[in-house]
Amino acid sequence: MPTLTLSQVTKSFRDQRALSDVTLSVDAGERVALLGHNGAGKSTLMKIVLGLIAADSGTIAILGSPQGSPAARRATSYLPENVAFHPALTGLEQLRLYLRLRGEPVGQAVDLLERVGLGAAGRRRIGGYSKGMRQRVGLAQALIGRPQLLVLDEPTSGLDPVSRRDFYSILDDLAGAGTAILLSSHALTEVEAQTDRIAILSNGLLVANDSLASLRRRAALPIQVQIATRPDAVEEVARRVAGTRVNGTRVELTCRHDNKLTRLAEVAGLGDLVEDVEIVPPSLEQIYHHFSKAGAAQ
Amino acid sequence: MTGIAAIAICEFKIALRNRWVAIAVVIMALFAAVLSAAGSAPSGELGVDKLSLTVASLTSLAVYLVPLVALLMAFDAISGEQERGTLPLLLTYPVSRLEILLGKFVAHLGTLALAIAVGYAIAALAALAFDGEAVQGLPALARLYLTSLLLGAAFLGLGYAISAVAARPGAAAGAAIAAWLMLIVLYDLALLAGVVADDGGAFTRSVFPWLLLANPADAFRLYNLAASEGTSAATGLGGAAQTISPGLALVSVAAWSVIAIGLAAAAFRSVKP
Ligand SMILES: Nc1ncnc2c1ncn2[C@@H]1O[C@H](COP(=O)(O)OP(=O)(O)OP(=O)(O)O)[C@@H](O)[C@H]1O
Ligand SMILES: [Mg+2]
């Protein structure tokens, strides 16, 4: 049984359709990235999963319990987008509240703050924290009590590059221990490397839901081949492979997935005119554009 | 239960940090001290001990101050969470909305209990220092203290209900002040006008007492002034009001504190995070 299942979830705000017939599941130990333009419905989907807003139709189950039920709430941790806390409390006091609410020993507050790199600031009031520091308090509270489902709305927004890396390594640990993770993000490059599956929402429609490799195959976007040539051979190489000369020593060509090997063989046939070859697969950004465009057209 | 305690501990910390505890204590202490100083003259003349007189004047003070402080502490409780954006996250925790509300209630009522205790203690000590007979007034003081907490509870509940409905702290603050003016000041003025216009007619005899009972602040005043004969003699409460039994007035104050919390819980339940 997947940890989280949504089937045919639909939600409108007055005449504004936010989610249309979305079916999605997340297994234990799986990390799923939810992508989509601003207003695509990511946060709405998450709030519905948490029982904060009601869906118009469709069903949601968290380990077999309906969203918002006590059992579902015990199993789930959430990091909202733009997480906020009471400015008069210190980081430690705020975490102690959340620990008590989950029935965990309050002594863990110090360790949790250490884990997100906030050990030193724990005794200062949150009112004086930077955006990234508040985000880290948000992460710390989401880690309380080894949740079985983790729902993170733009968790790395406001984090510096080093903390982003640390954050994903924490996620790896949790996923390794069986936590199902659903996270939304606009940072495609980091999501590309750190998640198991990509779900793309476009205008409330789920237009893609697969591993990156499968999405790549399905999108069948052209692959780019970059050829570094000998300085005196760039014209000849460009002519013989029908590529585009980029500068004095580089030629680029694009090819489809299914004739990649044929094209590479042609390049190999150029012998010592070529100094190096690099194959650049379509980035998640290109794949994302491909699927979001398809969704917008529907 | 642990949910209520968790919220209460946190809210009390916030009340301390935001100086609400200090402000409430200082307000109560200040007014009680001023009142004891001002009321030191006519002792003995009415054949009543000094503490009983103090209780009578504390009652008139508490009717204004306790609801005001309670409303000021409560108006931010839910609207503030909404404004700060802290409500959605809190509501995803395994804690019910009723528990959240009761947690805040426990912390705020604790703050009120502390402030009122300090204020009344100052007034009582002043009375005891000048009059050996004043110990006779201690039961009246105890009654006043406990009913002050009930009155505070009723207005905390009302404040939470306003906070839940208003959704923004600014609007909630305005509505809280308006509620205080209407229930504490205008309500009595309107009743008084009615009694004057009626000139001892049916309204004064059969409707007016029930209207007094229906307002928790008036019921509170009725109970404390009527509960001890001495003090009611001292303040010369209107004849019609004395037809109401103090027991009924006590029931009214207690009932309002429960009803107000119930109203707040219902209002909070329909808040969309
Ligand atoms: N409370 C609300 N009332 C009315 N409309 C809403 C509400 N919440 C969301 N919407 C609408 O639903 C749609 C989806 O919004 P949502 O916040 O889910 O987008 P998102 O994918 O999270 O965007 P972003 O990347 O900017 O965070 C938008 O059109 C938004 O205007
Ligand atoms: Mg969003």
Predicted confidence (pLDDT) at residue B243 exceeds the cutoff of 80: no
Q: Which CATH number fits domain A4-86+129-217: 1.20.1300.10, 1.10.10.1200, 3.90.230.10, 3.40.50.300?
A: 3.40.50.300
Pick B93's closest partner by Cβ from A83, A84, A98: A98
Residue ranges of domains in chain A: 4-86+129-217, 222-281
* Architecture of the A222-281 domain: 2-Layer Sandwich (3.30)
Average pLDDT of every residue of chain B: 88
Percent of chain B with pLDDT over 70: 90
Predicted confidence (pLDDT) at residue B229 exceeds the cutoff of 70: no
H-helix or E-strand spanning residue A197 = strand A197-202
Interface membership of A168 toward B (CB under 8 Å) = no
B77 burial type by CB count under 10 A (0-12 exposed, 13-18 middle, 19+ buried): buried
Can you tell me whether residue B249 is helix, strand or coil? helix
Tens digits of residue pLDDT in B158-187: 999 999 999 899 999 999 999 999 999 999
Contacts of B15 in chain A (CB under 8 A): none
Residues within 5 A (CB) of ion ligand 2: A 42-43, 81
Handedness of CA A232, A234, A239, A241 (dihedral sign): positive
Say how many Å lie between the first and final Cα of chain A, rounded: 32
At B228 the pLDDT is 60
Which site among B14, B93, B99, B272 would you substitute to test the A interface, given the most A Cβ atoms closer than 10 Å to its Cβ?
B93
State the ipTM, two decimals: 0.88
Residue B10 alpha carbon to ligand 1 centre in Å:
32
Positions in chain A short of pLDDT 70: 297-298
Predicted confidence (pLDDT) at residue B230 exceeds the cutoff of 80: no
Q: How confident is the model at residue B239 (pLDDT cuts 50, 70, 90)?
A: low
Tens digits of residue pLDDT in B55-96: 888 998 999 999 999 999 999 999 999 999 999 999 999 999
**Residue B123 Cα to chain centre, angstroms:** 18
Q: How confident is the model at residue B242 (pLDDT cuts 50, 70, 90)?
A: low
C-alpha angle A53-A182-A12 in degrees, rounded to nearest 5: 30
Pick B13's closest partner by Cβ from A89, A102, A138: A89
**Of A11-15, B25-29, B259-263, highest mean pLDDT:** B259-263
Other beta carbons within 10 angstroms of residue A182's beta carbon come to 28
